[in-house]
């Protein structure tokens, strides 16, 4: 297909020539001999040759070749890890993970890797929370488990809220008055954390720990799964891997997520694009943006997302509207702010909220 | 590896691979693709290694952060592995992978609301910092000034023409593949390429004449 070299007359001729393109791309010594010879034989073609080289370099653009090899090897290792996981079923307890450091705002952590979960459970991995549910007598801790098919709202002592997915459980201190607010999660939960820079909020799972000062995020880490993801909704987040202290923290920006995949005995992580639609829950895409919204509608939105029942006097509060953006606030804070705006008060009893107010003019 | 052999041997393809030893590394794309579809993760690994650099390079041309590109690639191969039962044979693995990565990067940009249509899609034309003229048998000053001129012309090209040029001349793709990849008809790709080349060299003669005065 290539023209014989004496027929290279225009830059286009050169560009169409596979041998020429390979030469500019790879610059192999054996090709060098050929093109040196070519230029010596046809010195009049040198200007066209030079222009063709320049055109190709411009078309090729910046190389950015760094680390590509490393990434390829990592991906290859990952693929073989997956297969050995599915085949060999030799899971040992996962190493505990401490690695996340957050700067601000909303973060969510999602676990993928469903193909591991079966193997992990068979191997009998037990994580903190599961063990704790067997010891309800432990007075310092409260354990909530969602055995229903829907999400379950859990209000924490500090005012933060958790939407617990089905098959998930959470354990937290009765008072939450330690230097850090620690909760232990098995499974998946959407967190909205009361801001308190003095008291970091830590979500521990069997694989990773998520550390925030006040924000909303989702954690999903079912025992036995070998990987997880962290995704940011708003703000930015720094991720530091355990046993990898020398490395720079991974910065995550809005709509980015980080995938963690277990490889040998370490986790490897990589930053990626938006959390996938099928893994996000509706609440993550709900902005709770109310603008002259009838209060009944606002309550309805809350009921839908938090799986609670809100009782209020429909007639009396008919004229009340809410204008607020309650994206990151915990559930109770949302209710409090709506009540503040409508001059009402509220009482929470389990998953039922009763609002009482005089109504609006 | 040994554990895998009995399972793989359920499928004749794999026995062939195993009997021929390390054929995998040199096997052509379609053989690897077939092996992968039959459950050979190493075959997919070889493909991943083979195309990682090219996919990464291509993805980053859209001005997407390298970590995002890398993760799109990772996700692509993980998805391929998970869905191997549903993936069919393809005439060009390279085309398939490029198409998939383009799709996933566009999806990412759409999510970030940076993408509304093909026109809004960017294309990086920045130059390498040092393209080592001597290794291309050209004097450094000569090549520098030529590249600068060509670069100015390239910058003036529509972005999709730049992409077509890259795919054709760097990735060695056929016009048919480029049209499938970019979702435009073949005639448009030919036009892109033709116009692109013409425009890159358009002012060459003017420049030569000017250079005569300067040098």
Tens-digit pLDDT profile for residues A212-252: 655 656 666 666 666 666 665 555 555 555 544 444 555 55
Lowest mean pLDDT: which of A163-172, A271-280, A334-343, B66-75?
A271-280
Summarised one tens digit per residue, pLDDT across range A70-107 is 777 777 777 776 665 554 433 333 332 322 322 222 33
Report whether pLDDT(A205) > 90.
Answer: no
How far is B26 from chain A, CA to nearest CA, in Å? 16
Q: pTM above 0.80? A: no
Q: What is the CATH number of domain B124-215?
A: 1.10.10.10
Lowest mean pLDDT: which of A62-71, A114-123, A157-166, B62-71?
A114-123
Q: What is the CATH number of domain B1-122?
A: 1.10.1740.10
Give the chain A residue nearest B123 (alpha carbons): A61
CA distances from B52 to A29, B56, B136, B168 (A): 25, 6, 26, 18
How far is A51 from chain B, CA to nearest CA, in Å? 7
More confident of the two residues B190 and A125: B190
Q: Distance between terminal CA atoms of chain B? A: 66
A288 within 8 A of A327, measured Cβ to Cβ: yes
| Bridge pairing between strands A227-232 and A107-110 | antiparallel
- For residue B47, what is the enclosing H or E element? helix B41-60
CA-based nearest residue to A230, from A196, A263, A207:
A207
Arithmetic mean of pLDDT, A25-43? 88
Lowest mean pLDDT: which of A121-130, A156-165, A217-226, B56-65?
A121-130
Report whether pLDDT(A24) > 80.
Answer: yes
Give the per-residue pLDDT at B97.
Answer: 95
Kindly give, in sequence order, each residue whose CB lies less than 8 Å from that of residue A38, ignoring residues fewer than 6 positions away.
A5, A45, A49
- Interface check A58 vs B, CB under 8 A: yes
DSSP A6: G
- Interface check B173 vs A, CB under 8 A: no
Give the per-residue pLDDT at B55.
Answer: 93
CA separation for the pair A331, A273 (Å, rounded)? 28
Q: Is B109 exposed, middle or buried (0-12, 13-18, 19+ CB in 10 A)?
A: buried
CA separation for the pair B48, B26 (Å, rounded)? 14
Instruction: Measure CB to CB from residue B131 to each of A57, A75, A274 and give the nearest one.
Output: A57
Give the per-residue pLDDT at A181.
Answer: 86
Q: In the numeric block, which tokens belong to residue A44?
A: 């009049």
Summarised one tens digit per residue, pLDDT across range A335-351 is 888 888 788 888 888 78
Give the per-residue pLDDT at A3.
Answer: 52
- Interface check A256 vs B, CB under 8 A: yes
Residue A294 banded pLDDT, cuts 50, 70, 90: confident
| Residues in chain A within 8 Å Cβ distance of B205 | none
Domain boundaries, chain B: 1-122, 124-215
Report whether pLDDT(B100) > 90.
Answer: yes
Q: Residue B40, SS3?
A: coil
Q: Chain B, 10-39: which have a CB under 8 Å from a chain A CB? A: none
Give the per-residue pLDDT at A1.
Answer: 46
More confident of the two residues A235 and A60: A60
Give the per-residue pLDDT at A177.
Answer: 78
**Alpha helix stretches (DSSP H) within chain A:** 11-16, 18-26, 29-41, 46-60, 68-88, 114-122, 128-133, 282-285, 295-306, 331-342
More confident of the two residues A312 and A104: A312
Lowest mean pLDDT: which of A150-164, A243-257, B136-150?
A243-257
Tally: H helices and E strands in chain A: 10, 20
CA angle (A46, A50, A54) in 5-degree steps: 170
Summarised one tens digit per residue, pLDDT across range B36-89 is 888 888 888 889 988 998 999 999 898 888 888 888 898 899 889 888 888 888
Give the chain A residue nearest B71 (alpha carbons): A272
Arithmetic mean of pLDDT, B25-30? 78
How far is A106 from chain B, CA to nearest CA, in Å? 16
| Residues in chain B within 8 Å Cβ distance of A75 | 45, 48-49, 52, 73-74, 77
Report whether pLDDT(A40) > 60.
Answer: yes
| Residues in chain A within 8 Å Cβ distance of B170 | 21, 25, 59-60
Residue of A40, A46, A55, A90 for testing the chain B interface, max B β-carbons within 10 Å: A55
Report whether pLDDT(B138) > 50.
Answer: yes
Inter-chain CB proximity B53 and A56 less than 8 Å? no
Facing residues of A73 across strands? none
Give the chain A residue nearest B152 (alpha carbons): A58
Arithmetic mean of pLDDT, A286-302? 85
Q: Chain B, 81-120: which have a CB under 8 Å from a chain A CB? A: 81-82, 104, 107-108, 111-112
Arithmetic mean of pLDDT, A117-133? 35
How far is A15 from chain B, CA to nearest CA, in Å? 7
Q: In the numeric block, which tokens belong to residue B59?
A: 């993805």
Give the per-residue pLDDT at A127.
Answer: 35
Give the per-residue pLDDT at B139.
Answer: 85
Give the per-residue pLDDT at B58.
Answer: 92
More confident of the two residues A325 and A93: A325
Instruction: Measure CB to CB from residue B126 to each of A12, A59, A62 and give the nearest one.
Output: A62
Instruction: Measure CB to CB from residue A76 to each of B45, B66, B172 and give the nearest one.
Output: B45
Residue of B74, B190, B192 for testing the chain A interface, max A β-carbons within 10 Å: B74
Give the chain A residue nearest B196 (alpha carbons): A59
Give the per-residue pLDDT at A185.
Answer: 84
* Residue A18 half-sphere exposure toward CB, CA atoms < 13 A: 6
Give the per-residue pLDDT at B116.
Answer: 67
How far is A154 from chain B, CA to nearest CA, in Å? 31
| Bridge pairing between strands A161-164 and A107-110 | unpaired
Give the per-residue pLDDT at A87.
Answer: 45
Give the chain A residue nearest B59 (alpha carbons): A64
The segment with the largest mean pLDDT, out of A190-194, A244-248, A270-274, A349-353, is: A349-353
| Residues in chain A within 8 Å Cβ distance of B58 | none
**Average pLDDT of every residue of chain A:** 70
Residue B24 banded pLDDT, cuts 50, 70, 90: low
Q: In the numeric block, which tokens belong to residue A99?
A: 């690695």
Report whether pLDDT(B168) > 50.
Answer: yes
- Interface check A259 vs B, CB under 8 A: yes
């Amino acid at each position: 297909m290539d023209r014989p070299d004496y027929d290279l007359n225009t830059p286009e001729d050169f560009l169409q020539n596979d041998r020429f393109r390979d030469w500019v791309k790879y610059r192999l010594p054996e090709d060098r001999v050929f093109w040196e010879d070519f230029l010596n034989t046809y010195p009049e073609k040198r200007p066209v040759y030079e222009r063709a080289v320049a055109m190709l370099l411009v078309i090729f653009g910046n190389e950015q070749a760094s680390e590509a090899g490393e990434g390829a090897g990592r991906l290859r290792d990952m693929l073989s890890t997956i297969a050995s996981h599915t085949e060999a079923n030799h899971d040992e307890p996962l190493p505990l993970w401490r690695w996340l450091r957050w700067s601000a705002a909303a973060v969510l952590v999602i676990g993928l890797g469903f193909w591991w979960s079966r193997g992990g459970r068979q191997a009998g991995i037990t994580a903190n929370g599961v063990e704790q549910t067997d010891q309800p007598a432990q007075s310092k801790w409260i354990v909530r488990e969602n055995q229903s098919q829907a999400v379950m709202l859990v209000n924490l002592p500090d005012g933060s809220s958790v939407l617990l997915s089905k098959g998930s459980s959470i354990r937290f201190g009765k008072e939450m008055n330690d230097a850090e607010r620690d909760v232990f999660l098995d499974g998946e939960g959407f967190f909205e954390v009361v801001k308190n820079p003095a008291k970091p909020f830590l979500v521990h799972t069997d694989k990773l720990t998520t550390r925030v000062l006040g924000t909303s995020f989702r954690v999903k880490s079912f025992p036995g799964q070998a990987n997880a993801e962290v995704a940011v909704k708003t703000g930015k987040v720094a991720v530091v891997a355990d046993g990898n202290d020398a490395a720079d923290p991974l910065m995550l920006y809005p709509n980015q997520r980080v995938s963690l995949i277990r490889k040998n005995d370490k986790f490897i992580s990589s930053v990626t694009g938006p959390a996938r639609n099928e893994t996000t829950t509706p609440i993550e895409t709900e902005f709770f943006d109310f603008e002259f919204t009838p209060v009944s509608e606002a309550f309805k939105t809350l009921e839908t997302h938090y799986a609670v029942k809100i009782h209020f006097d429909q007639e009396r509060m008919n004229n009340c509207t809410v204008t607020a953006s309650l994206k990151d606030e915990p559930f109770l804070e949302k209710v409090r702010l709506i009540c503040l705006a409508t001059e009402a008060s509220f009482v929470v009893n389990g998953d039922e909220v009763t609002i009482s107010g005089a109504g609006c003019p | 590896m040994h554990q895998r052999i009995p399972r793989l041997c359920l499928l004749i393809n794999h026995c062939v691979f195993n009997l021929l030893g390390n054929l995998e590394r040199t096997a052509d794309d379609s053989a690897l693709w077939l092996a992968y579809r039959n459950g050979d993760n190493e075959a997919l690994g070889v493909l991943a290694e083979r195309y990682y650099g090219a996919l990464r390079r291509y993805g980053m041309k859209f001005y997407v952060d390298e970590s995002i590109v890398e993760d799109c690639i990772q996700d692509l191969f993980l998805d391929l592995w998970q869905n191997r039962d549903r993936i069919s044979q393809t005439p060009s693995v390279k085309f398939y992978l490029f198409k998939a990565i383009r799709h996933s990067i566009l999806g990412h940009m759409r999510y970030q609301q940076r993408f509304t249509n093909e026109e809004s899609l960017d294309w990086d034309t920045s130059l390498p910092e040092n393209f080592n003229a001597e290794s291309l048998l050209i004097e450094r000053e000569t090549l520098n000034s030529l590249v600068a001129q060509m670069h100015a012309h390239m910058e003036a090209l529509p972005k999709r023409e730049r992409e077509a040029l890259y795919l054709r001349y760097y990735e060695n793709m056929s016009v048919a593949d480029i049209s499938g990849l970019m979702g435009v008809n073949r005639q448009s790709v030919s036009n892109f390429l033709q116009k692109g080349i013409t425009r890159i060299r358009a002012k060459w003669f003017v420049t030569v004449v000017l250079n005569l005065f300067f040098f």
